[in-house]
Amino acid sequence: MTTKISVPRPSEFALIEKLFAPLAAAEPGAYGLKDDAAVLSLEAGHEMVLTVDTIVEGVHFLRDDPADLVAQKALRVNLSDLAAKGVAPRGYLLALSLSPWVNEAWLKAFAGGLRADQEKFGIALLGGDTTATYGALSLTITATGSVPEGAMLRRAGARPGDLAFVTGTIGDAGAGLEILRGGGGMLAPEQREALAQRYRVPQPRTALGARLRGVATATLDVSDGLMADLGHIAELSGVRIVLDATKIPLSSALVAFWGPGDDAVAKAATAGDDYEVAFTAPETAREAVAKIARETLIPIAEVGRVETGMGVVLIGRTGQAIPVARHGFTHF
Amino acid sequence: MTTKISVPRPSEFALIEKLFAPLAAAEPGAYGLKDDAAVLSLEAGHEMVLTVDTIVEGVHFLRDDPADLVAQKALRVNLSDLAAKGVAPRGYLLALSLSPWVNEAWLKAFAGGLRADQEKFGIALLGGDTTATYGALSLTITATGSVPEGAMLRRAGARPGDLAFVTGTIGDAGAGLEILRGGGGMLAPEQREALAQRYRVPQPRTALGARLRGVATATLDVSDGLMADLGHIAELSGVRIVLDATKIPLSSALVAFWGPGDDAVAKAATAGDDYEVAFTAPETAREAVAKIARETLIPIAEVGRVETGMGVVLIGRTGQAIPVARHGFTHF
């Protein structure tokens, strides 16, 4: 209760009642956001999974970004974490720190973005907190879901001899940010838009997660850059991961922008915000992985191999390691 | 990945490894903060309870406040919610948005505050996210615990004829804030310190919560002001709550500061940040409530009565309602 910030927007209670309570209607344990806490029951033999991520104005998004897309980015970076762990999402808690510039129209569009994603992903708002800040707009989402006991996919578990895989295409979000900053003038408008959209709104691979249980030996979502994130798997599994630059999946728009060379691949493999799933699986699971890709309609590329040793290396066309200055991006 | 903020402090990974991973050591499902999500199993027949609260620099705390107390305030406002719901806390997720002014010494003291409270309340860090912000330091904590199915205490449930109760003393935190802003010159130093401490660090009534199951008909924690919060119970239960000003529990330090009159009681009953538990219970439970107070060593005062009607009213010494301009404080 130090200081009250006065801005021309509805009171906290009015906002919650009007914009956010409807988002909690489908989950009885959220009590219409009218209690101090939410309660969730679990299927027998299941465990609860929790993850949290914050996105901040000026760091993870821009003030001018459409509010519905900001909402969806905040939500989806969490759903991506759950997807990579083999977890079906159930719901989320939302903590909003609102800057003085945030008005009711922005909040209405923001809630609309949440509503659309709730329908898309089959989840509900469970609870939240709304406060004011003098500083940057900040959104923290805690997402939850459940898995059968012991079934959560882990980062540790890759073994020498395993293959490394990644979904979708890599580097598009990084290229999209360059475009939003004015780059990519040589591209067709639809190419620029496709890349920018990859930056604005992640597409979490929710259909994939549960299918990887019993197949993948280690998984994570690619948010800091493919090499940086596979580096986490390598470190926690005590292995070395050798990537083949010719196998890293690049979109045609990205190749049109950055070119097809090893340097473009290295740039793509160290850019952030892909929100694809990277995983390792035994060579004997290669056909099972291909079947999952066919059935989920999610492209999965085999990009390398797990060896004894440590670290991650990207081998170029000449068979030599491509030097990379840094393996990824940190938002810190 | 919009923008990286460079400040002279360790990297995110180094910070997590050094300061925060040790806080997660006691909870196997936190995987040392080295995975994308935490996993928690529940006792059979139990449900998971979740609550989230954010505290922001300049709104809920001041930049000069000791970092360990800021950590404890962020954690305890959540533990207070769980306590009021009859829930034993299990653990928490921490999302930190760090301003450029936050240095390693501050973070070390902050983590020390969390460690001390983890021991005090028997909880562990389950996961988190650390990001930078250009703006105010902001901390969001999502706390979780479990209850037997259907046992979570609710705000709805007060019935005409019930009595209203509150723990501890009311208004001290509000008085403490006045003191931190330079007031209370007539008080003894130990009185000033006692009140200021009530503002700085809530004392969640964790020992009380589970004991109220089967006794209380409606509960919540008092954070916005006693009258405002009992107003939530009144609204959701469809009842009127009539408070007796002579029964509102005030500390001797508060009476020394604000005086013993109805105006002081009204001020206390509409100040924020008490983090006491208010609840209703049938008149037949009066002895059970007294027994809980004796056994938990938590003072519980009977402060009023539930009637048919709506709203909350504070009756003064003359038998007339004391006019109050606003029933509580909002942090919004």
pLDDT at B329: 55
Whose tokens are 């460690």? That residue is B115
Rounded Cα distance, B253 and B258, in Å = 9
Q: How far is B293 from chain A (nearest CA, A)?
A: 23
* A131·B38 Cβ contact <8 A: no
Rounded Cα distance, A309 and A235, in Å = 10
To 10 degrees, the CA torsion angle through A24, A222, B23, A74? -30
Of A134, A173, A330, the CB nearest to B136: A134
Average pLDDT over residues A300-312: 97
pLDDT in tens, A50-106: 999 999 998 888 898 899 999 999 999 999 999 999 999 999 999 999 999 999 999
* B134·A129 Cβ contact <8 A: no
User: A31: nearest CA in chain B?
Assistant: B154
* DSSP 3-state of A196: helix
**∠ CA B130-B85-B95, rounded to 5°:** 5
Of A5, A12, A149, the CB nearest to B59: A5
pLDDT in tens, A212-248: 999 999 999 999 999 999 999 999 999 999 999 999 9
| Spatial contact of B94 and B128, defined as CB atoms under 8 Å apart | yes
**∠ CA B113-B117-B122, rounded to 5°:** 150
* A136·B140 Cβ contact <8 A: no
CB burial of A6-37 (b: ≥16 within 10 Å; e: otherwise) equals eeebeebeebbeebbbebbeebebbbebbbbb
Residue B101 has pLDDT above 90, yes or no: yes
Residue of higher predicted confidence among A244 and B9 = A244
* A1·B60 Cβ contact <8 A: yes
Rounded Cα distance, A113 and A2, in Å = 32
* A93·B52 Cβ contact <8 A: yes
Residue B293 has pLDDT above 50, yes or no: yes
* B142·A50 Cβ contact <8 A: yes
pLDDT at B128: 93
* A332·B52 Cβ contact <8 A: no
pLDDT at B330: 53
Q: How far is A319 from chain B (nearest CA, A)?
A: 31
| Torsional sign, CA A172, A168, A244, A152 | positive
Average pLDDT over residues A123-136: 92
Q: How far is B111 from chain A (nearest CA, A)?
A: 18
Provide the pLDDT confidence category of residue A328 given band limits of 50, 70 and 90. low
* B47·A61 Cβ contact <8 A: no
**∠ CA B92-A222-B23, rounded to 5°:** 25
Nearest to A280 by CA among A330, A225, A315, A232: A232
pLDDT at A325: 74
pLDDT in tens, A170-192: 999 999 999 999 999 999 999 99
ipTM of the complex: 0.91
Q: How many CB atoms lie within 10 A of CB B119?
A: 10
| Torsional sign, CA B298, B303, B307, B313 | negative
pLDDT in tens, B175-201: 999 999 999 999 999 999 999 999 989
Residue B2 has pLDDT above 80, yes or no: no
The model carries a pTM of: 0.92
Return the amino acid letter for B6. Answer: S
Residue from B17, B50, B170, B181 to probe the interface with A (highest A Cβ count within 10 Å): B50
Residues pairing with A305 in the sheet: A163, A242
* A54·B232 Cβ contact <8 A: no
Chain A positions touching B29 (Cβ under 8 A) are 47
| Spatial contact of A90 and A123, defined as CB atoms under 8 Å apart | yes
Q: Where does residue A141 rank: exposed (0-12), middle (13-18), buried (19+ CB within 10 A)? A: buried
Of A12, A135, A271, the CB nearest to B136: A135
Average pLDDT over residues B317-329: 83
Ordered DSSP codes for A257-313: HH-SSHHHHHHHTT-S---EEEEEE-GGGHHHHHHHHHHHT--EEEEEEEESSSEEE
Tell me the residue ranges of DSSP E strands in A84-224. 88-98, 124-132, 138-148, 163-167, 218-222
Q: Is B230 left (phi over 0), alpha (psi -120 to 50) or beta?
A: alpha
Q: Where does residue A307 rank: exposed (0-12), middle (13-18), buried (19+ CB within 10 A)? A: middle
* A47·B38 Cβ contact <8 A: no
Of B2, B35, B60, the CB nearest to A58: B2
Of A35, A58, A128, the CB nearest to B3: A58
User: B91: nearest CA in chain A?
Assistant: A50
Residue of higher predicted confidence among B62 and B85 = B85
| CA dist list (Å): A174 to A197, A243, A323, B182, B312 | 11, 20, 19, 51, 55
- Looking at residue A329, the DSSP 8-state letter turns out to be -
Residue from A9, A13, A52, A149 to probe the interface with B (highest B Cβ count within 10 Å): A52
High-pLDDT (> 70) share of chain B, %? 95
Those residues whose C-beta lies under 8 Å from the C-beta of residue B223, and which sit 6 or more positions away, are: B77, B80, B229, B272, B273, B274, B275
Residue A146 has pLDDT above 70, yes or no: yes
Give the phi and the psi of residue A128 in degrees, each rounded to 5. 180, 180
Residue A2 has pLDDT above 60, yes or no: no
Give the phi and the psi of residue B297 in degrees, each rounded to 5. 60, 20
Residue from A1, A41, A61 to probe the interface with B (highest B Cβ count within 10 Å): A1
Tell me the residue ranges of DSSP E strands in B42-201. 46-56, 88-98, 124-132, 138-148, 163-167
Those residues whose C-beta lies under 8 Å from the C-beta of residue B145, and which sit 6 or more positions away, are: B48, B49, B82, B87, B88, B89, B90
Q: How many CB atoms lie within 10 A of CB A120?
A: 14
pLDDT at A3: 53
Chain B positions touching A209 (Cβ under 8 A) are none
Tell me the residue ranges of DSSP E strands in chain B. 38-40, 46-56, 88-98, 124-132, 138-148, 163-167, 218-222, 240-244, 276-281, 300-307, 311-315
Q: How many CB atoms lie within 10 A of CB A257?
A: 23
- Pairing mode of beta strands B124-132, B88-98: parallel
Residue of higher predicted confidence among B328 and B61 = B61
pLDDT at B134: 87
Rounded Cα distance, A21 and A11, in Å = 14
Whose tokens are 């001899």? That residue is A161
**∠ CA A9-A13-A14, rounded to 5°:** 55
* A47·B62 Cβ contact <8 A: no
pLDDT at B324: 87
Rounded Cα distance, A278 and A248, in Å = 12
* B5·A173 Cβ contact <8 A: no
pLDDT at B332: 45
Residue B83 has pLDDT above 80, yes or no: yes
- Sheet of B311-315: strands edge to edge? B218-222, B276-281, B163-167, B300-307, B240-244, B311-315
Chain B positions touching A124 (Cβ under 8 A) are none
Average pLDDT over residues B239-244: 98
Angle, nearest 10°, between helix axes A67-84 and A104-121? 30
Q: How far is A73 from chain B (nearest CA, A)?
A: 12
Residue A324 has pLDDT above 90, yes or no: no
Chain A positions touching B47 (Cβ under 8 A) are 29, 39-42
Which uninterrupted H or E stretch holds A54?
strand A46-56
The token duo for A70 is 């900001």
Chain A positions touching B144 (Cβ under 8 A) are 48, 50
Q: Where does residue A4 rank: exposed (0-12), middle (13-18), buried (19+ CB within 10 A)? A: exposed
Residue from B5, B222, B329, B332 to probe the interface with A (highest A Cβ count within 10 Å): B332
pLDDT at A8: 61
Average pLDDT over residues B110-122: 97
* A272·B330 Cβ contact <8 A: no
| CA dist list (Å): B274 to A35, A200, B224 | 18, 42, 8
Chain A positions touching B135 (Cβ under 8 A) are 56-57, 99, 133-136, 138
